[in-house]
Structures are given as C-alpha cells and as structure tokens.
Amino acid sequence: MRTQVCIIGGGPSGLLLSQLLHLNGIDTVVLEQRSRDYVLSRIRAGVLEWGSVEVLRDAKVGARMDAEGFAHDGVYLSAQNQEFHIDFKELTGKQVMIYGQTEVTADLYEAREKLDGVVIHDAQGVTPNDLETDAPYVTYIKDGTEQRIDCDFVAGCDGFHGVSRGCIPTNVLKEFERVYPFGWLGILSQTPPARDELIYAQHERGFALCSMRNANLSRYYLQTPLDDPLEKWTDQKFWDELRKRVPDEVADTIVTGPSIEKSLAPLRSFVAEPMRWGRLFLVGDAAHIVPPTGAKGLNLAVSDVHYLYQGLLQHYGGDDDGLELYSERALARVWKSERFSWSMTTLLHRTPDQSPFDKRIQESELAYLASSRAAQTALAENYIGLPF
C-alpha cells in the first residue's frame, strides 16, 4: 500500500490530522493498535480552547460540539472557604468550550467514516523505517500478516507510550521532565454539576476540581497520593473528601451519586525535543505531557496538528518552510502551555514537602489573583489558549 502521510495513532491528534489532510486532498492512512471501542472508552479531557474549537470546525467536525457543548465564560477558584470567579470573556473577549475528548474522538471517527478515510485498527508491531530517506515506510502486523505502507511522511500521533518518539536517536533527542508527587483520582457521575462553571479548589487537605460533561454528567477530581489503591476510594469516601475541600456553600449543594467511571492518573510535565526527525513528525502526547490542571493536554495536540497540517499543505504546494519550522513553532507554543500547566499545578496543590513559607507564598499568590485584574487577565489569556 502507498499513501502520502502515514499516521501512527488513532486518538484525537491522529484522527484530526487525517481529517484535515483528507479535506485538502492529501491521502493518509491511520494505524491504531487498539479497537475503536477501546479508544472511545477512555475518559480524558473536558475543556477546549477557542482555537481548538475553530480547528475542529475547520475539520467539519464541529456540529455536535456546537449543539451539545457548553461555552463557558470563566472558572471559579477557591481557597480558605472563599471563592472568586475569573471572567475570561470579560477579560479577553473569549470563552472555552466544555465538550469531552471522548465526544471529539467519536465525532472524528464518524467524519473519517463518512469520507471513507482509512483507519486500520488492531495494527500491531507498527514500525517506522527509513525515516532519514525520502522514501520512508511503515510496517505492521494485522491478523497475523505483516503489511507495509510506503509514504512521503510519518506522523507520530501515538501518545506518550507510543513507538514514534523512540525512533529519534538518543544522541539527538532531548527530554525534559518533572514528575509530581501526587495523582488525580477522577470520577464520572450522572449527577448535575456542582456549579454552572468549573471550580478549581485549593485546600490544606489537597486539590479538588469540579467539572462536567453535560447538565447531568459531572466530572470530579481529587488530588491523592500516588500509591493510593483505587479500591480504597469508595464513592462515599470520595464524596465526603470532596465536600471537605470545596467551599461550604458548594459542599452543601453537591448532588452525589454512583460513579460510572473511576481512575487514578499520575501527573507529569514532559517535553521531547526536537519534534521532527527526517520524515517523522511527533504530534501531541507523543512529544509532550502536561499536568491536567491547565486543561492543556488535548489542546496542545490540536495545536501541533494545526502546525503540521499547515506545513504539509505548503509542502504539497511546493514550499517546505512550514515543515522546516514545524518543530520550532510547535515547541514555542508547547513550552508556554507547559509553563502555565506547571504554574496552575504548583499554585493549587499542597505537597508533603512544602514548608510553612511555601504555603504562605501559595496563599498570597491566590489572594493576589483574587484581587488583581492584571493577574486574572494573565491567567485568562493562557487558559483560553494563546494564539497559534
């Protein structure tokens, strides 16, 4: 088989890149190691930057998002039993869209099907080859038979644990990482959200986040020790702890119910440079990870897709500047989101090794944020998404 761009990974970045290229007459094949149902079973991100909303609309997958998503003007932050609202719309003129990653991925799968896009599931042993030549190819095993795809380019959209990043020689690849000494325990419950918008709660006992997917589907997170067994967290224990970490008036109105999903995720900041090696381009989690406190993971994947799609379009139009500059342009925006996600995480989480001085600094930073339009504007412009 031959294609122009072979895409490894059928998550949001791989499917979105495939859709955008297809709409512009560029042929792709997506190789996904899992089944479609498995990919769609993963509960992940919930907040879309406005730039991501526009890219999804450009990809002709925005209809259900526009019909079922919730445009939010801002978020609440709380500490010391007090809360304050940061109004992104008033401060920046922009909003964010609440629309789950699972829905985005489902919309992309449906769109690929409508255009007869080639997405090969259960592709095992995917291996990129000859990336430093102008004739790379990818091999994989499907139903026990080895297959080969000859292509012009390979897009590594295969996530943090994928195969692509490892194709960059160790004497070329530079990795930057910070691992946080806690995780996020997340639950999904068919209950109305705690508030009309998200609540990020800093508390002595640990961070909590009240989010949502729709008017009767809520998403909550608690900062927990990394070695906490999931079984320890019964629903009742989760709700009791959540109530202790949010302001009293929120705790008194939270509607609880059985969890329909419960998972513990470790938090890390990670960046791999460069995001290109010969004919291979890294995209999304294959190249970088952020702690979810800034709601940037999925949005950075969209950001990379935006730059790579533009670069490939230019290449097939005879101009290679976009591809030459891909890694530099993508990383410039990645690092700004890494900084924001790190700052939100250190602002809102208590860690065991924090000194009394550290805690006072955290408290004063939140007090300053509560009182300063300039500080709130800086947070707002990062949260809604910096320009591409």
* Catalytic residue numbers, as ranges: 72, 200, 292, 296, 383
Closest CA to 358 of 372, 366, 270: 366
Angle, CA 209 vertex, CA 36 and CA 49 arms, to 5°: 60
Per rule CB under 6 A, is residue 48 in the interface with ligand FAS? no
**293 lies in the site for ligand PHB, by CB under 6 A:** yes
Nearest to 340 by CA among 387, 388, 291: 291
Q: At what angle do helices 297-315 and 12-23 cross, to 10 degrees?
A: 30
Look at the alpha carbons of 21, 269, 206, 226 in this order and tell me if their dihedral is positive or negative: positive
CA angle 375, 366, 80 (to 5 degrees): 150
Q: Which one among 46, 51, 183, 385 touches ligand PHB, defined by CB under 6 A?
A: 46
Segment interacting with ligand PHB (CB under 6 A) among 33-41, 44-52, 104-112, 163-171: 44-52
- Among the listed ranges 67-75, 172-180, 188-196, 289-297, the one in contact with ligand FAS (CB under 6 A) is 289-297
The answer to the question of residue 45 lying near ligand PHB (CB under 6 A) is yes
Closer Cβ to ligand PHB, 125 or 266, answer by number: 266
Q: Tell me the per-residue interface mask from 163 to 182 with ligand FAS, x by CB under 6 A, - otherwise.
A: x-------------------
Which residues, 6 or more positions from 320, have their beta carbon under 8 angstroms from its beta carbon?
314
Of 17-25, 85-93, 262-270, 289-297, which segment contacts ligand PHB by CB under 6 A? 289-297
By C-beta, is 297 or 385 nearer to ligand FAS? 297
Nearer to ligand PHB, 208 or 295 (CB): 295
Question: 316, 318, 27: which is closest to 151 by C-alpha?
Answer: 27
Q: Which is nearer to ligand FAS, 163 or 347 (CB)?
A: 163
Give residues 95-114 in contact with ligand FAS (rule: CB under 6 A): 101
Side-chain-side CA neighbours of residue 135 (13 Å): 2
Determine the Cα–Cα distance for residues 193 and 199; give it in Å rounded to an integer: 10
**What are the backbone angles phi and psi of residue 355, rounded to the nearest 5°?**
-85, 165
39 near ligand FAS, rule: CB under 6 A: yes
193 is a site residue for ligand PHB (CB under 6 A): no
Q: H helices of the chain, where?
A: 12-23, 36-41, 50-58, 63-68, 88-92, 101-114, 235-245, 248-251, 297-315, 321-324, 326-348, 356-371, 373-384
Residues engaged in binding ligand PHB (CB under 6 A): 45-47, 198, 209, 211, 219, 292-293, 295
List residues near ligand FAS by CB under 6 A: 8-14, 31-34, 39, 44-46, 101, 123, 126, 157-159, 162-163, 265, 284-285, 292, 295-298, 301
